[in-house]
């Protein structure tokens, strides 16, 4: 019988749950609110329903992401660096560099097969993250995906030099007032964001194959800007938001099978799925 | 197994000695004795040999940082118009000296910093040099600046001969300047005697650092940053020798009993680049300890050159060599060589690079060093963004996130010793 494992990835903006055995049985993506614990329970319940199994059927649960410590029913916590690496490796075994553009941070991971050799993260600043793009999209009254497509129609690129999200927003407003085209502004913006992430990732020496993942990978504007900067086409997983959760479920599976092979008991938590909130 | 933090017994003595140092300086000031401000590498031995008291405003920044009051002092400097990009150690001092109303200064830690009668610094850190220039104008007191050229590779007799000669000439001029200023005669024999003591204290300190090559290390980088102070404040005086002697014996005891200051079982041994983040010492000890990881060595702990470069019979030459041969005064190539050796000597498993946001001096080249070292040694490295004193430039969640991920990498690789 194939073991069933689950990965719960509580990111700063999105919460993702994946249940797997040999294949993906369920995957849920929902927004992360302030009450991580309650949300983790809720999203897990939805995923169980989608998979048509009960909580007790899940052999091992691994949590990751910023909110990983707020998943009371998880057997183990690991960082999203390890989980992304494992998830990406399952899709692209030849991947050597992973660039993850998340809501609150962006990071680059250097891989040797599924092993993480090194990583870098952007530091204490929204520039170069999904949140930066979101704020700007809101200011322009556009959706994120729409903004990506729009950038492809640019005739030239308007340079937005401010890295501070608030100042960049102000800069954009004044560029619009000067009559710059929205397409050119967003194209310049993507170029700027990608430039920052690229230079951070270059600290690890970007190597092919390179995979872009996280919410940012859903924007065609980001991918095209990366393609230009890298000089080759990066790979993108089928659902970039899910690689962390898939990786978590796979790492849980590795641990479960590993302990079975060694005939060791698998350390699991006394766990229950319940409704609890941060504030109780 | 729950990890036990076992601070060195010397901690009590350290507190007493540091308190006494500040009390004595203030007493001397009140009695009308001369007080000089010195940057960390100034030729303070000559000042002490002429009965001039020495205060280190940079060290004061460190004390305030550990006490958790630096950010407020930095903000006071900013209110005077200094940019947040300026080194936080410097902002801290400006905030204490200049940004705090005179009548409130005595409420600061150690009663604040006594006003200087003269200022000494070397050209090692341009930020300090600029601050000293400012205070020379502000207090209208003389400023003496010593050149301290960077050694390209490492200091050696042949390559350094020219710089040593120039350094000695500068010291001679400095002596003449001090004689004119104080009306006192400089006594070179007294200087030689103090160098005998300084060499001994220095040797004991280098021995203590070397003892950390043992597994488990008897002292962590987080301890070393505190226990270096008696040597720093009392160089050339018997107190530093006595303290370092006792420290070394305590470390020897710990080595014999295999006692680590932080963990029950030392799993990973780490290099720490730069100084620790002063306002987070305790939390960082706990965080690393929770993984059985101990930062056992930092280049910054080798604050002064090697005792081998000291010869009390030639005191001026010794002083110059001591400052030129500091490992941190080497160029990139020399630092990489030095660190490569530490990796082997201290059986290291990984490198933690603390990037002090506002210290341009230590940031320059840090990435190059990290790249070269990871390539040379194959060890993983992590960059921690932080600051020595300004807590606004540091984030707990980012620190924890990076350390958690780094520890996963170490766990995957396993310790080099297993
Ligand atoms: S922390 Fe850096 S910039 Fe500040 S005084 Fe020290 S060396 Fe100079």
For A167-212, write each residue's pLDDT tens digit. 777 788 788 888 888 889 889 888 988 988 999 999 888 999 999 9
pLDDT of residue A9: 94
Task: Compute the mean pLDDT over every residue in chain B, rounded to the nearest whole number.
Answer: 92
CB neighbourhood size of A111 (10 A):
25
Distance A178 CA to ligand 1 centre (A): 43
Task: Compute the mean pLDDT over every residue in chain A, rounded to the nearest whole number.
Answer: 86
Instruction: Tell me the chain B residues in contact with residue A203 when contact means C-beta distances shorter than 8 Å.
Output: 367, 371
Nearest CA to ligand 1 atom 4: B87
Q: How confident is the model at residue B316 (pLDDT cuts 50, 70, 90)?
A: very high
Alpha carbon of B405 to those of A13, B210, B354, B363: distances in Å? 20, 30, 16, 23
ipTM value: 0.81
- With a 6 A CB cut-off, is B359 part of the ligand 1 pocket? yes
Place of tokens 């978590």: A248
Are the CB atoms for A234 and A94 separated by under 8 Å?
no
Q: Does B2 have pLDDT greater than 80?
A: no
Q: Does B170 have pLDDT greater than 50?
A: yes
- Give the least confident one: A166-180, A234-248, B390-404: A166-180
Instruction: Give A260 or B170, the one with higher predicted confidence.
Output: B170
pLDDT of residue B1: 57
Distance B243 CA to ligand 1 centre (A): 27
Interface with chain A: mutation pick from B277, B366, B408, highest number of A CBs within 10 Å: B408
Best residue among B40, B276, B361, B389 to mutate for probing ligand 1, ranked by most atoms within 8 Å of CB: B361
Omega before B145 cis (within 30°)? no
B320 to chain A, closest Cα gap in Å? 37
For chain A, the structural domain boundaries read 5-82+242-279, 95-230
- Give the least confident one: B97-101, B115-119, B213-217: B97-101
Q: Does B120 have pLDDT greater than 50?
A: yes
Helix %, strand %, coil % for chain B, to 5? 60, 10, 30
**Looking at residues A216-227, what average pLDDT do you find?**
92
Q: Does A84 have pLDDT greater than 90?
A: yes
Host H or E run for residue B16: helix B10-30
Place of tokens 């997983």: A237
**CA A8 – CA A245 distance, rounded (Å):** 5
CB neighbourhood size of B354 (10 A):
27
**Looking at residues A95-105, what average pLDDT do you find?**
90
- With a 6 A CB cut-off, is B89 part of the ligand 1 pocket? yes
Beta bridge partners of A98: A109, A211
Overall fold of domain A95-230: Nucleotidyltransferase; domain 5 (3.30.420)
Q: Looking at domain A5-82+242-279, which of 3.40.50.300, 3.40.47.10, 3.40.50.2300, 3.30.420.40 is its CATH number?
A: 3.30.420.40
- With a 6 A CB cut-off, is B362 part of the ligand 1 pocket? yes
Radius of gyration, CA atoms only, chain A: 20
**CA B144 – CA B38 distance, rounded (Å):** 10
Q: Say if the Cβ atoms of A79 and B380 lie within 8 Å.
A: no
pTM of the model: 0.88
Distance A4 CA to ligand 1 centre (A): 54
State what percent of residues in chain A have pLDDT above 70: 90
Which domains can be identified in chain B, with CATH numbers?
11-186 (3.40.50.11890)
Written as six digits, the tokens of B382 are 């992590």
pLDDT of residue A36: 62
Q: B225, B267, B273, B287: which is closest to B374 by C-alpha? A: B273
pLDDT of residue A125: 64
**CA B305 – CA B158 distance, rounded (Å):** 17
Q: How confident is the model at residue A277 (pLDDT cuts 50, 70, 90)?
A: very low
Q: What is the pLDDT of residues B198-257, one digit of tens each?
A: 999 999 999 999 999 999 999 999 999 999 999 999 989 999 999 999 999 999 999 999
- With a 6 A CB cut-off, is B87 part of the ligand 1 pocket? yes
pLDDT of residue A278: 36
Backbone angles phi, psi at A272, to 5 degrees: -145, 150
Instruction: Tell me the chain A residues in contact with residue B410 when contact means C-beta distances shorter than 8 Å.
Output: none
Q: Say if the Cβ atoms of A82 and B405 lie within 8 Å.
A: yes
- With a 6 A CB cut-off, is B128 part of the ligand 1 pocket? yes
Backbone angles phi, psi at A72, to 5 degrees: -65, -25
Picking from B381, B385, B404, the nearest residue to A118 by CB comes out as B381
List the single residue in A with minimal CA-CA distance to B374: A118
User: How far from chain centre, in Å, is Cα B396?
Assistant: 24
- With a 6 A CB cut-off, is B204 part of the ligand 1 pocket? no
**CA B358 – CA B361 distance, rounded (Å):** 9
Q: How confident is the model at residue B61 (pLDDT cuts 50, 70, 90)?
A: very high
Q: Say if the Cβ atoms of B395 and A124 lie within 8 Å.
A: yes
pLDDT of residue B43: 87
Q: Say if the Cβ atoms of A118 and B380 lie within 8 Å.
A: yes
pLDDT of residue A276: 40
Strand A14-20 and strand A24-31: the pairing is antiparallel
Q: Does A279 have pLDDT greater than 50?
A: no
DSSP B339-399: HHHHHHHTT--EEEEEEETT-HHHHTTHHHHHHHHHHHH---EEEEEE-SS-GGG--HHHH
Instruction: Give A1 or B31, the one with higher predicted confidence.
Output: B31
Are the CB atoms for B18 and B233 separated by under 8 Å?
yes
Distance B93 CA to ligand 1 centre (A): 12
Which of ligand 1's atoms lies nearest the C-alpha of B87?
4
Q: Does B343 have pLDDT greater than 70?
A: yes
**CA A44 – CA A62 distance, rounded (Å):** 12
- With a 6 A CB cut-off, is B277 part of the ligand 1 pocket? no
pLDDT of residue B329: 86
Are the CB atoms for A162 and A192 separated by under 8 Å?
no
Instruction: Tell me the chain A residues in contact with residue B351 when contact means C-beta distances shorter than 8 Å.
Output: none
Q: How confident is the model at residue A66 (pLDDT cuts 50, 70, 90)?
A: confident
Cα angle B15, B21, B23; round to 5: 100
Picking from B367, B385, B408, the nearest residue to A123 by CB comes out as B385
Distance B226 CA to ligand 1 centre (A): 17
pLDDT of residue A144: 79
Distance B128 CA to ligand 1 centre (A): 7
Instruction: Tell me the chain A residues in contact with residue B385 when contact means C-beta distances shorter than 8 Å.
Output: 123-124
**CA B251 – CA B258 distance, rounded (Å):** 10
pLDDT of residue A124: 58
Written as six digits, the tokens of B355 are 């990037």
List the single residue in A with minimal CA-CA distance to B397: A66
């Amino acid at each position: 019988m194939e073991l069933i494992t689950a990965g719960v990835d509580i990111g700063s903006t999105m919460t993702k749950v994946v249940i797997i055995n040999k294949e993906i049985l369920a995957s849920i993506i929902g927004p992360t609110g302030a009450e991580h614990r309650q949300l983790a329970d809720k999203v897990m319940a939805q995923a169980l329903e989608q998979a048509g199994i009960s909580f007790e059927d899940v052999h091992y649960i691994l949590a990751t992401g910023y909110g990983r410590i707020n998943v009371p029913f998880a057997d183990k916590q690991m960082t999203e660096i390890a989980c992304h690496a494992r998830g990406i490796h399952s899709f692209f075994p030849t991947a050597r560099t992973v660039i993850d553009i998340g809501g609150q941070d962006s990071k680059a991971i250097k891989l040797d097969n599924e092993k993480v050799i090194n990583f870098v993260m952007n530091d204490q600043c929204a520039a170069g993250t999904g949140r930066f793009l979101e704020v700007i999209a809101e200011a322009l009254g556009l959706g994120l995906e729409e903004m990506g497509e729009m950038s492809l129609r640019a005739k030239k690129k308007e340079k937005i030099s401010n890295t501070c999200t608030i100042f960049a927003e102000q800069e954009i407003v004044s560029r619009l007032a000067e009559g710059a085209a929205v397409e050119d502004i967003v194209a310049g913006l993507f170029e700027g964001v990608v430039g920052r992430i690229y230079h951070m990732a270059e600290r690890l020496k970007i190597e092919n194959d390179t995979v872009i993942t996280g919410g940012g990978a859903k924007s065609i504007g980001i991918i095209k800007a990366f393609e230009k900067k890298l000089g080759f086409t990066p790979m993108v997983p089928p659902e970039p938001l899910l690689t962390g959760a898939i990786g978590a479920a796979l790492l849980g599976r590795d641990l479960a099978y590993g302990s079975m092979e060694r005939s060791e008991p698998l350390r699991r938590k006394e766990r229950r799925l319940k409704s609890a909130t941060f504030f109780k | 197994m729950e990890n036990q933090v076992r601070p060195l017994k010397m901690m009590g003595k350290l507190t007493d000695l540091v308190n006494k140092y500040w009390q004595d300086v203030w007493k001397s000031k009140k009695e009308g004795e001369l007080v000089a401000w010195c940057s960390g590498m100034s030729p303070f031995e000559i000042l002490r040999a002429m009965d001039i008291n020495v205060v280190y405003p940079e060290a004061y920044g460190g004390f305030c940082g550990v006490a958790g009051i630096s950010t407020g002092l930095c903000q006071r400097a900013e209110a005077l118009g200094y940019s947040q990009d300026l080194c936080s150690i410097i902002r801290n001092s400006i905030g204490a000296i200049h940004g705090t109303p005179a009548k409130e200064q005595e409420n600061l830690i150690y009663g604040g910093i006594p006003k200087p009668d003269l200022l000494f610094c070397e050209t090692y850190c341009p930020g300090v040099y600029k601050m000293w220039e400012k205070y020379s104008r502000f207090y209208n007191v003389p400023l003496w600046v010593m050149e301290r050229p960077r050694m390209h590779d490492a200091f050696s007799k042949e390559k350094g001969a020219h710089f040593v000669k120039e350094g000695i000439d500068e010291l001679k001029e400095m002596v003449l300047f001090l004689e004119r200023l104080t009306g006192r005669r400089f006594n070179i024999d007294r200087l030689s005697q103090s160098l005998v003591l300084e060499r001994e204290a220095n040797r004991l300190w280098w021995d203590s650092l070397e003892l950390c090559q043992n597994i488990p290390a008897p002292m962590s980088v987080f301890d070393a940053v505190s226990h270096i102070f008696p040597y720093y404040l009392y160089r050339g005086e018997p107190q530093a020798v006595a303290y370092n002697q006792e420290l070394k014996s305590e470390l020897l005891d710990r080595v014999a009993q295999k006692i680590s200051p932080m963990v029950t079982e030392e799993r990973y041994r780490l290099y720490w680049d730069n100084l620790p983040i002063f306002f987070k010492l305790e939390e960082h000890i706990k965080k690393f300890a929770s993984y059985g990881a101990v930062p056992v060595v930092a280049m910054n702990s080798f604050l002064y050159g090697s005792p081998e470069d000291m010869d009390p019979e030639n005191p001026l030459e010794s002083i110059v060599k001591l400052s030129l041969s500091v490992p941190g005064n080497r160029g990139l190539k020399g630092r990489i060589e030095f660190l490569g050796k530490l990796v082997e000597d201290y059986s290291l498993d990984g490198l933690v690079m603390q990037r002090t946001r506002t210290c341009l001096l230590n940031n320059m080249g840090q990435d190059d060093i990290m790249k070269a070292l990871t390539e040379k040694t194959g060890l993983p490295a992590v960059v921690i963004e932080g600051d020595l004193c300004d807590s606004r430039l540091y984030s707990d969640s980012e620190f924890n996130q990076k350390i958690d991920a780094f520890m996963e990498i170490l766990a995957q690789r396993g310790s080099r010793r297993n």
